[in-house]
Amino acid sequence: MENSTPPFACKHSSNLPELLTELNCSIALSTYQAGKVIFISAKNKEELVQLPRTFDKAMGMTLRGNKMALATREEVIVLADHPELGKHYPKNSGVYDHFFVPRATYHSGQVDIHDLEWGNEGLWAVNTSFSCLCLIDENFSFVPKWKPSFITELVSEDRCHLNGMALKDGKPKYVTTLGHKNSFQSWRENITQGGLLIDVEKNEIILENLPMPHSPQFYLDKLYLLFSATGEIVCYDENSGKYELIKKLNGFVRGMAVYKDYMFVGMSKLRQNSSTFKQLPIAELSSDAGIIVIHIPTKSTVASLYYKSSVDEIYDIMILPGMNRPGILNTIDPVFRMGLSIPGADYWAKIDKPVK
């Protein structure tokens, strides 16, 4: 019997469309397993609409102003928002209020980039393969800038599974790793309790023995991070050097965005045949992939979305503020070559008059 569930079918709490409408935003998620970036928007106060777009092994995402950057298997793609192109998009005219079009591709090679973030020096990336933080640059595959003190050399061995990065004042402040040894994929030796939180400026280990830490993020001068192996959301206090539990979810948590007192957390459905995931404390409970929305002041779950098909593993979550129905193009469909922009005007190729 064939599965009749359509691609990217999902179920969501009845209030999620209304919440997105009130917040005046859309959600973006990346799933390397499905090879997609998915925009989730409120069609009205009762319905959601999704836009899945193919990107090979979509991982970390970041947004600054009108620019979005995305890490893929071998590239970092920078897209620019051109609302006027969206309004006149030939395939769906009059639908999109914002529209991301590829404008630059950096060929980083297969270095397994995880988190991305713009800082004072440019576009920072977590280079998981080489266990370092680097800058994305048009002259090189990457420019290494920092590595943990226990990593002795730059080599493509994924020694500690450096994965998460939080910037403060435009500079990397904290990173998360899944291990702290100095040999080929040694993080796998103690995957459930070998994680670290590291202060980049001091190059010091701040917290250790953590259960798969991911997605560190500052909000109102507080650092939040996820413990994927246990489904926990925690807040680290820089003054006391300790962390407190904010909420425990029944699933594998990875990918977090905070916006206007609301925290959007990604949940992944774990592969039962995975040698990495099957030993996790949360493995048996991680049967759904989707998004949980938490009201930070009350620590209560207020909305949710779960996928019935297509999406099993989520890497990153990002909020698109002020965007009610954004669109996005990739570099696979040749239509992206037809969207042309110059200062002050946008065109779709073969259209005589500029869009103003």
- What pLDDT does 284 receive? 73
The pLDDT tens digits for 100-149 are 999 999 999 999 999 999 999 999 999 999 999 999 999 999 999 999 99
For the cut 70, the answer to whether the pLDDT of residue 274 exceeds it is no
Q: What is the mean pLDDT of residues 5-21?
A: 96
The pLDDT tens digits for 29-39 are 999 999 999 99
Burial class (CB in 10 A: 0-12, 13-18, 19+), 329: buried
**Does residue 349 lie within any of the structural domains?**
no
**Does residue 209 lie within any of the structural domains?**
yes
* Residues sharing a CB contact under 8 Å with residue 236, sequence separation 6 or more, in sequence order: 197, 206, 207, 222, 223, 224, 225, 242, 243
- What pLDDT does 355 receive? 57
Residue of 118, 95, 33, 65 whose CA lies nearest to 316: 33
- What pLDDT does 199 receive? 98
Q: What is the mean pLDDT of residues 14-35?
A: 98
Distances 320 to 21, 217, 257, 317 between C-alpha atoms, Å: 12, 16, 10, 10
- What pLDDT does 353 receive? 55
Would you give the distance in Å from CA 147 to the centre of its chain? 22
**Does residue 45 lie within any of the structural domains?**
yes
Question: What's phi and psi for 239, nearest 5 deg?
Answer: -75, -45
The pLDDT tens digits for 58-91 are 999 999 999 999 999 999 999 999 999 999 999 9
- What pLDDT does 354 receive? 56
Question: What's phi and psi for 303, nearest 5 deg?
Answer: -160, 165
- Return the amino acid letter for 103: R
- What pLDDT does 273 receive? 60
Burial class (CB in 10 A: 0-12, 13-18, 19+), 157: middle
HSE-CB at 292 with a 13 A cutoff on CA atoms is: 25
Q: What is the largest CA-CA distance in the chain?
A: 63
CB 191 within 8 A of CB 227: no
CB 103 within 8 A of CB 78: yes
Q: What is the mean pLDDT of residues 159-165?
A: 98
Beginning with the edge strand found earlier in the chain, give each strand of the sheet holding 232-237 in spatial order: 213-219, 222-227, 232-237, 242-248
Q: What is the mean pLDDT of the chain?
A: 94
- What pLDDT does 35 receive? 97
CATH of the domain at 189: 2.120.10.30
**Does residue 173 lie within any of the structural domains?**
yes
CB 206 within 8 A of CB 163: no
Beginning with the edge strand found earlier in the chain, give each strand of the sheet holding 61-64 in spatial order: 61-64, 67-71, 76-81, 98-106, 326-328
The pLDDT tens digits for 203-229 are 999 999 999 999 999 998 899 999 999
CB 325 within 8 A of CB 316: no
- What pLDDT does 278 receive? 67
For the cut 80, the answer to whether the pLDDT of residue 276 exceeds it is no
- What pLDDT does 1 receive? 37
**Does residue 70 lie within any of the structural domains?**
yes
The pLDDT tens digits for 285-344 are 778 999 999 999 999 999 999 999 999 999 999 999 999 999 999 999 999 999 999 999
Q: What is the mean pLDDT of residues 346-356?
A: 71
Residue of 186, 297, 171, 284 whose CA lies nearest to 246: 297
* Residues sharing a CB contact under 8 Å with residue 65, sequence separation 6 or more, in sequence order: none
- What pLDDT does 319 receive? 98
- What pLDDT does 2 receive? 46
- What pLDDT does 352 receive? 47
Q: Which domain does 315 fall in, by range?
A: 10-340
**Does residue 240 lie within any of the structural domains?**
yes
* Residues sharing a CB contact under 8 Å with residue 254, sequence separation 6 or more, in sequence order: 214, 215, 226, 228, 266, 268, 314, 315
The pLDDT tens digits for 25-61 are 999 999 999 999 999 999 999 999 999 999 999 999 9
Domains of the chain: total = 1
| Runs of H (alpha helix) within the chain | 16-23, 83-87
In terms of residues, how long is the chain?
356
**Does residue 213 lie within any of the structural domains?**
yes
